[in-house]
Amino acid sequence: MAGSTLRFSLLLAAAFAGRATALWPWPQYIQTSELRYTIFPQSFQFQYHLSSAAQVGCSVLDEAFQRYRDLLFGSVAFRFPHPIEKRHTSEKNSLVVLVVTPGCDQFPSLGSVENYTLTINDEQSLLLSETVWGALRGLETFSQLIWRSPEGTFYVNKTDIEDFPRFPHRGLLLDTSRHYLPLASILDTLDVMAYNKFNVFHWHLVDDSSFPYESFTFPELTKKGSYNPATHIYTAQDVKEVIEYARLRGIRVLAEFDTPGHTLSWGPGVPGLLTPCYSGSHPSGTFGPVNPALNNTYEFMSTFFLEISTVFPDFYLHLGGDEVDFTCWLLDIVSAYGKGYVVWQEVFDNKVKVRPDTIIQVWREEIPVKYVKELALVTRAGFRALLSAPWYLNHITYGPDWKEIYLVEPLAFEGSPEQKALVIGGEACMWGEYVDSTNLVPRLWPRAGAVAERLWSNKMVSNLDFAFKRLAHFRCELLSSPESRHTPHP
Amino acid sequence: MEQRGLGRLRLPGLLALLAGLVVQAALGTRRTQTPRLSASRDLNLWPLPLSVMTTPRLLYLSPRNDFFGHSPTSKAGPSCAVLQEAFRRYYDYIFGFYKWPLGSDNIPREMELQKLEVSVIMDPECDSFPSITSDESYTLLVKGPVATLTANRVWGVLRGLETFSQLIYQDSYGTFTANESNIVDSPRFPHRGILIDTSRHFLPVKTILKTLDAMAFNKFNVLHWHIVDDQSFPYQSISFPELSNKGSYSLSHVYTPNDVHTVIEYARLRGIRILPEFDSPGHTASWGKGQEDLLTPCYHAREPSGTFGPINPILNSTYSFLSKLFKEISTVFPDEFIHLGGDEVNFNCWKSNPAVLRFMRNKRFGKIEKLQSFYMQMVLDMISAMKKRSVVWQEVYDDEGELTPGTVVQVWKKQNFPMKLSQVTAAGFPVILSAPWYLDLISYGEDWRQYYSVKPLNFAGTPEQKQLVIGGEACIWGEYVDATNLTPRLWPRASAVGERLWSHQEVTDLEDAYRRLTRHRCRMVGRGIAAQPLFTGYCEHEGGM
């Protein structure tokens, strides 16, 4: 990628101090000018290009057009009188969308192409993308380019953008076990993720504290393992809704069922599953991890993960994992169901034999080695890696900690270009020990935005002042969007 | 300070009218004993009252419209707005926020609690503002068929209603239930405050009112309103409208006289004082925009640098401006106290200005600190002349030779604060403690424990010195806080400070506090306050958060 192009575009942004400085995350290539076009909410339309592979009826884009209309013009659309004057070139009344490859009904995947180009000039107003997923990213960018004069007129400047993500896996982890998060909180989070071009929702569904996932093969898990089986659960319908809501925003749902540790809440619903702990030669009445020594365990896991493999459409499942033997056969079960898997770094650290296409998520900052070193080790062994260690957003401190989060360079480890290519991205993690729906949103945003730009934009985009200006602006945009329930902290 | 003593002295007057048993409990527990608790296992009271006695006997409430009423012998009646409004609020908190119970008609008469009768014994002060000397003590006797809440003044009734609401729970059939109990309560400190900062970020009036609600749930009684600072001047002054016209973030980020009045009255109805702070001479950058020649021009290499420093202490125009402004403030804000700030004055600008240096030479001020005391003394004298009293940050005490007696000093610097408490009280000044309670300084985990474990009187000093500690304040400064994150960041962390300032000094068991605070937090959530969790778990009523 051309660093010079980038510097050029940064200079431009500084020179024109116009609307482009409101973009987040910053595009790979951008050129804007002071020439601006008026947009009349009443007549403005998103349109499919005649030769676009996606046309009316494409759920992903039809819905997105509706969403961005509301987001941009929401309440104002009908308060403005229709302009009576004749049309002229300084007016834009549409954005034409051209998608090259058909496919509106699939799920996004790790391999999805998110590239797009956006061209706003005298001749055209065109969003061109390989796939609908790229179109979604472009629509978000387009919405960030539109600005309003103090008199209330909408404008978009003459702009050329060519954009694509630096990493294909840009995730956010929510933990719905330590505290239950209402469906509305999850859906709101997916909205804000889309504004930040995140594309993976890592759903840490269950853990020691509670088991809110309602399983249809083992309903007792939720009945006995949730905080409250009447209110604090995710029904099959809820899960479906999350997956579809995410899909429409180009976001994958990566479900995590962490075993064999972190499973206390599984115990009450499946007698015999957990290992009874002993004190001396007597059972102490407490329980440890899943008991790997029993045949029943194997059967239970096979059945349970068959369900999970069916319910969650993504190719990947997150299996958590830290113990050798157990993880070994669990991985076999899951690959038999045709799934790939992500595991926490312990599985690698403990030298479990895993398939070469396993993705290792690096989460420990210092132990056993610094995370930078861990990335080098994981990729040298030929595994793909995901970085989370410096992005535990549940850890809070006083002051603008987004800067530290922002300045992380995921590829700053010693390794060959091939090793670097194995880092497929990273995830911001919001563990739930101290977080529920009362404080999730302001704790998450805009701090997670810093991770989003690091994972999307060119590595040269690292100027803190430039980022501060745009992020501060972006936060206010989030606050003023029609869904004012998105309330990031200052 | 005498106020605490006064509050105490009135108590026997009240108690004489009550059952002997209660008198004994109340007097017996004053200072010498730990609070009495029986069957406290399931109590969810926060902050913990001075004395609680409960029996296993259950009473069932019938949520009738006239559940709250005035005792025939009460000095307050239906014309008392503070109480009528409180009845309506607490009816909602107790009965309105939950499902209606099924079959509450079938309560056996001998187990029924039909009514809570409120009795005010002395002049109720229905139309007054609460003050530092307000009597907040109360006695609550929960028994069937009629419970009684007795207090000297309405302020005690407000605290007692909160406690009563905390005693009620719904049993597994949904019936509103309370244990028969007998509670005698009064605060340990008379000044229990929350500081909010509306200059670094503007807080909408709605957010301030919400904060006042939550304060009442925690028996806080002072909202310290740090209303202006360097960043913005949202207070709309009647005498100097340009201050906010030019100094606010925008014209919609302003507190109009009507807004201020709304806040003061909302607070009054909850027994909360508004302590306004107009911090000077530092922290005043935003003042300069709307008031010419108020700030000191800074110099660089003998030339004005174009930047401005603290308020210019050498001009007569400064003092005539301040006198007019504070005259207005003293009228707008009814509280006896005005907070004058006086912290973190940057002396470099003063030192750079030739006119300031000349002034100092003429006045024979050796140190620059003398200039700060000169300024503060001028303002302090203004306030005394207006028959008001002043609160200042600790620097004013540190720099001042002779501070007006009775000035309250607020200790905020964390390092070695017990020593500072010793010094200030040894010099005879009342103090407010904030140093260990800067809630804007966040960290990972259960930091409420450290706020809770503070011992405000743990410093070297005589009993008379200890008496001068009139209370404390939890401060949530606004650099990183606005309406998006104020509530979860403030609650329930400030609740820890609330109990420390209200409850007996020997109420220190962290595990019991954790248990009660977890439930108290859920209660706040149920009442619409987005208080964040203490640790893993859940609330039954999370709806709406």
The CATH number linked to B90 is 3.30.379.10
Please check whether residue B493 touches A, CB under 8 A.
no
> Residue A475: closest CA among chain B residues belongs to which residue?
B484
Nearest by Cα to B214 from B512, B461, B489, B510: B489
CB atoms within 10 A of CB B461: 19
**Percent of chain A topping pLDDT 90:** 75
CATH number listed for the domain at residues A15-77+87-163: 3.30.379.10
Residue located via tokens 């993504």: A314
Same domain, B376 and B239: yes
Residue located via tokens 């000018």: A33
Same domain, B175 and B295: no
**Residue B532 resides in a domain:** no
Of B443, B482, B537, Cβ closest to residue A490:
B482
> Is residue A487 predicted with pLDDT exceeding 50?
no
SS3 B183: strand
Bridging pattern class, strands A316-320 and A252-259 = parallel
Same domain, B155 and B232: no
Q: How far is B412 from chain A (nearest CA, A)?
A: 17
Helix axes B368-385, B316-332, angle to 10 degrees: 40
The pTM of this model reads 0.89
The CA angle A351-A357-A358, to the nearest 5 degrees, is 50
> Is residue A52 predicted with pLDDT exceeding 50?
yes
**What DSSP character marks residue A391?**
G
Predicted confidence at residue B214, as pLDDT, reads 98
Bridging pattern class, strands B389-393 and B146-151 = unpaired
**Residue B482 resides in a domain:** yes
Same domain, B327 and B390: yes
Count how many domains chain B has. 2
> Residue B543: closest CA among chain A residues belongs to which residue?
A182
Task: Give CB contacts under 8 A, 24+ apart, made by A402-409.
Answer: A402/A446, A402/A447, A402/A449, A402/A450, A402/A471, A403/A450, A403/A464, A405/A447, A405/A450, A405/A451, A405/A454, A406/A450, A406/A451, A406/A453, A406/A454, A406/A462, A406/A464, A406/A467, A407/A462, A407/A464, A408/A454, A409/A454, A409/A459, A409/A462
Q: Are B337 and B389 in contact (CB under 8 A)?
A: yes
Query: CA dihedral in degrees (A182, A186, A187, A191; nearest 10)?
Result: 150
Helices (H) and strands (E) in chain B, counts: 19, 19
Predicted confidence at residue B63, as pLDDT, reads 83
ipTM, two decimals: 0.86
Domain housing B355: 191-527
Same domain, B365 and B489: yes
Residue type, B355: A
Same domain, B116 and B198: no
Bridging pattern class, strands B176-185 and B169-170 = antiparallel
How large is the average pLDDT for residues A384-397? 97
Q: What is the pLDDT of residues B225-269, one digit of tens each?
A: 999 999 999 999 999 999 999 999 999 999 999 999 999 999 999
Contact B542 A436 (CB under 8 A): yes
Same domain, B109 and B257: no
Confidence of residue B425 (pLDDT cuts 50, 70, 90): very high
Domain with CATH 3.30.379.10 in chain A: 15-77+87-163
Domain with CATH 3.20.20.80 in chain A: 169-485
Phi-psi sector, B387: left (phi>0), alpha (psi -120 to 50), beta: left
Same domain, B196 and B156: no
> Residue B483: closest CA among chain A residues belongs to which residue?
A489
Contact B542 A437 (CB under 8 A): yes
Mean pLDDT of chain B: 90
Predicted confidence at residue B160, as pLDDT, reads 98
Residues of B within 8 A of A183 (CB-CB) are none
Residues whose CB is less than 8 angstroms from the CB of residue A415 and which lie 6 or more positions away in sequence, other chains included: A375, A376, A379, A380
Same domain, B101 and B170: yes
Confidence of residue A323 (pLDDT cuts 50, 70, 90): low
Please check whether residue B106 touches A, CB under 8 A.
no
Same domain, B196 and B119: no
What is the count of residue pairs from A and B with beta carbons less than 8 Å apart?
Answer: 90
d(CA B205, CA B201): 13
> Is residue A86 predicted with pLDDT exceeding 70?
no
CATH number for the domain spanning B472: value is 3.20.20.80
Same domain, B279 and B335: yes
Q: Which of B112, B125, B162, B344 is catalytic?
A: B344
Same domain, B113 and B220: no
Q: What is the pLDDT of residues A187-213, one digit of tens each?
A: 999 999 999 999 999 999 999 999 999
Residue type, B321: F
Predicted confidence at residue B399, as pLDDT, reads 83
**Residue B537 resides in a domain:** no
Of A398, A399, A438, Cβ closest to residue B525:
A438
Residue type, A79: R
Predicted confidence at residue B29, as pLDDT, reads 36
A169-485 adopts what CATH topology?
Answer: TIM Barrel (3.20.20)
d(CA A430, CA B290): 44
**Residue B320 resides in a domain:** yes
Confidence of residue B401 (pLDDT cuts 50, 70, 90): low
Helix axes A59-73, A132-145, angle to 10 degrees: 10
How large is the average pLDDT for residues A410-420? 97
Is A214 assigned a catalytic role? no
